[in-house]
Structure 1
C-alpha cells in the first residue's frame, strides 16, 4: 500500500511539473514579432499549450537566462548560440522563425563626420558584445577596407546606446531594431544612418535546453505549431502586425512601414544554418573573441529538427 501511495505521489508531482507554463525568454526586438502575435491572438492557447513570455533585452541575455534556469526556451540569433557553444552543449535550436539582412544598422554622430563606412577608421565604435552587433560591425569594417585595429571598440548595452551617441562617448555604433529607429527618432538631425552592404542574413531562433526537449516534447511541438500559425497570420494580416509593432515599441507607423518588408517571417531549419555558425565560430576564434586553442564545435549537434519535422515538415531541409 505504501508503495502504491508513493507511486501516486510521483505521478501527481510529474503531472504538476508538466502543467507548468513553458517560459520563453523573448528579446525585445522586431524579430520577436511571431511570439508577440501568438500571444496577442491567443494562438498558444488555441494549440493547447500554456506559455509565459519573459522579456529580456537582446538574445545574449535571453540565452543567459535560459542557461541559468530562469526560462525554458530563449530567442536569439545564431551568435549567442555560437559563443555559448564553446562552453557547453546542453541546448539546441528548434526552429528559425524570421530572417533578415537589414535588422542591424550602423548609426553615426554627424559631428563625427562619418557619412560612409570607410570613414569609421580611427573612430570610437560602440557594439553589444556577443551579439550580431559585434559580428556585423566587424563585417562592415573589413568589407569597407577599414582595419579593425585602427578603431576603438567600446562595449555598450542596448539601453545605453542612445546616451553613448548623444554624449559623444562613441562616434558611431552598431545596433539592431527597434533601437536603431528609436535613436534616429530621438536624436533626429544629430545622427545619420551609415550605408552598409548587406553582408549577413541573420536568423532569429527558438532555442531550448536539452532537458526541456527531453521532458516536454509535446509542449514544444505545440509551440512550434502556434508559431507556424503566427507567421502565417503576419503574412496574411500585415497591417495588424504592423500596428502591434508600432504600439509595442512606440515607433511611428511611418518607420514601421519603412522597415517591415526587411523581415521574412517563416519557420525553417536550413542546411545553411550550421554552416553560418561554423563561419561565425571561425571569426570568433580568429579575432580573439574566444580562445583560439579551443576546438570548434560541430554545429549540426546544436540544431534539433525532429520537432519541426512533425509540426511543419516542409520547413526542414536538414537530415
Structure 2
C-alpha cells in the first residue's frame, strides 16, 4: 500500500510539474502570507499544483492584471471585486483566506496636529483609488461627522505614499500594511498614527476568472487545499510565519510581531461577505465612484464556493 501511495504521489507531482502554471497576482502585503507560506513550505507541490506568482502592489492592480488577461487569479480585498462588478461578471471569489479590521491605517504628519479623526476636517488627505484605502477613509470621515466634500482629497499610490507625507503634499493618508509601518520606520517622529475606530472588517480573497474555473477545476481545488495547509501552518507555527512575512515584505520581525495578531488566517465564505459587498456597492453608487445609472449587482453570483465546500465544508456558510 505504501508503494502504491508513493507511486500516485510521484505521478501527481510529475503531472503538476508538466502542467502550465496557474498564474496568480499576489499583492505585496502581509495579507498574502498564506500564499508565501504555501510556496516556501512546498504546499503547492505537495498538493500537485503548479503555481507562478505575478507580484503586484495593491489588490486593485492585481485584479486589473487578471481582468486584462495577465493572470488566471488574483488576491485582493472585496473592494476591487465590487468596483469591477458593475461592468463585467466573468470572475468570482473562490475563498477568503484572512480577515482583519486593523490593516488600514491613517498616518498623519506630526506637524499637522491630527491627533484624532475629528481633526481631519479641512485637511489634505491621500488615498489609493479603487480599493479599501478609499473606502476606509470615507468611513472614518463620515463616522466623525466630516463631509468628504470639506476636505481636499488627493490620489496617491502605495509607492508615493511616503514621499507625499515627507514632502508635505498631504497632511495625512490612509494606507495598508506594510506600507504604514514602512512610513513610520522611515519618517520616525515626523509622522504619527491617527487612532481610528474599527469600522470595517476586510477580507482578503482568492479571485479567479470564470474561464479558469471552467478549464482548470482540479488545479483550483488543489490550490485551495494548499491554502488550507498554509492557514493551518500559520496557526501552528506563528513564529516561523512571522519570520517569513518579515523577509518577504522587507520589514523587521519586530514590526510584524506588533501587527501579526490583528490578522485571522483561515479559509471562509460567509454570508457577511456578500452583505458587505452590497453595502460597498451602495456607497460606490451614492458617492459617484461608479456610474449612477448602473444597476447594483447580485453578489452571490460573484462567489464560487464549490472548491471550498469540497476542501473544507464547514468553512462555507452562505445561507
Interval containing the TM-score (normalised by the shorter chain): over 0.9
What residue number does 2:70 align with?
70
1:48 alignment counterpart: 48
The C-alpha deviation readout for 1:217-244, integer Å capped at 9, x for no partner, is: 0000000000000000000000000001
Q: Distance in 2 between matches of 1:205 and 1:107?
A: 25
What secondary structure, in the 3-state scheme, does the structure 2 residue paired with 1:239 have? helix
| Paired position in structure 1 for 2:198 | 198
The offset of 1:273, in angstroms, is: 0.6
Match of 1:267 in 2: 267
Alpha-carbon distance between aligned partners in 1 of 2:53 and 2:41, rounded to the nearest angstrom: 14
SS at match of 2:266: strand
Secondary structure at the residue paired with 1:230? helix
In structure 2, C-alpha distance between the alignment counterparts of 1:208 and 1:56, rounded to whole Å: 16
The unaligned stretches of length 5 or more in structure 1 are: 1-14
Supply the distance in 2 between the matched residues of 1:304 and 1:153 (Cα, whole angstroms): 36
Instruction: For residue 264 of structure 1, give the secondary structure of its aligned residue in structure 2.
Output: coil
User: 4+ residue stretches of structure 1 with deviation over 4 A?
Assistant: none
Q: For 1:188-221, what per-residue CA distance to the aligned partner results, in whole angstroms no more than 9, with x for missing partners? A: 0000000000000000000000010000000000
Alignment of 1:305 onto 2:305: yes
Instruction: Quote the offset at 1:318 in angstroms.
Output: 2.0
Partner of 2:179: 179
> CA separation in 1, counterparts of 2:28 and 2:143?
29
Measure, in 1, the Cα distance between the counterparts of 2:249 and 2:141. 30
What is the CA deviation profile of residues 99-126 of structure 1, one whole-angstrom value per residue up to 9, with x for unaligned ones? 0000000000011111110000010000
TM-score (normalizing by structure 1): 0.94
Equivalent position of 1:8 in the other structure: none
Cα deviations across residues 267-293 of structure 1 (Å, max 9, x unaligned)?
000011100000000000001101111
Distance (Å, rounded) in 1 between the aligned partners of 2:306 and 2:256: 35
**Which runs of structure 2 are paired with 1:228-267 in the superposition (5 Å)?**
228-267=228-267
- 2:206 alignment partner, SS class: strand
Aligned residues: 304
Question: Tell me, what secondary structure is at the counterpart of 1:89?
Answer: coil
Aligned to 2:3: none
Distance 1:207 1:252 in 2: 30
Distance 1:32 1:250 in 2: 14
Q: Distance in 2 between matches of 1:150 and 1:178?
A: 29
Q: Which runs of 5+ in 2 are unaligned?
A: 1-14
Aligned to 2:59: 59
**Whole-angstrom CA distance in 2 between matches of 1:249 and 1:227:** 19
Match of 2:11 in 1: none
Matched, 1:107 2:126: no
Question: How far apart, CA to CA, are the structure 1 residues paired with 2:71 and 2:199?
Answer: 32
Matches of 1:256 and 1:243, distance apart in 2: 8
Partner of 1:96: 96
Which string of whole-angstrom CA distances, capped at 9 and with x for unpartnered residues, describes residues 40-65 of structure 1? 00100000010011100000000000
Residue 265 of structure 2 aligns to a residue whose secondary structure is strand
- Structure 2 counterpart SS, 1:220: helix
Q: Distance in 2 between matches of 1:182 and 1:163?
A: 12
Q: Partner residue of 1:79?
A: 79
- Give distance in 1, aligned partners of 2:233 and 2:90: 32
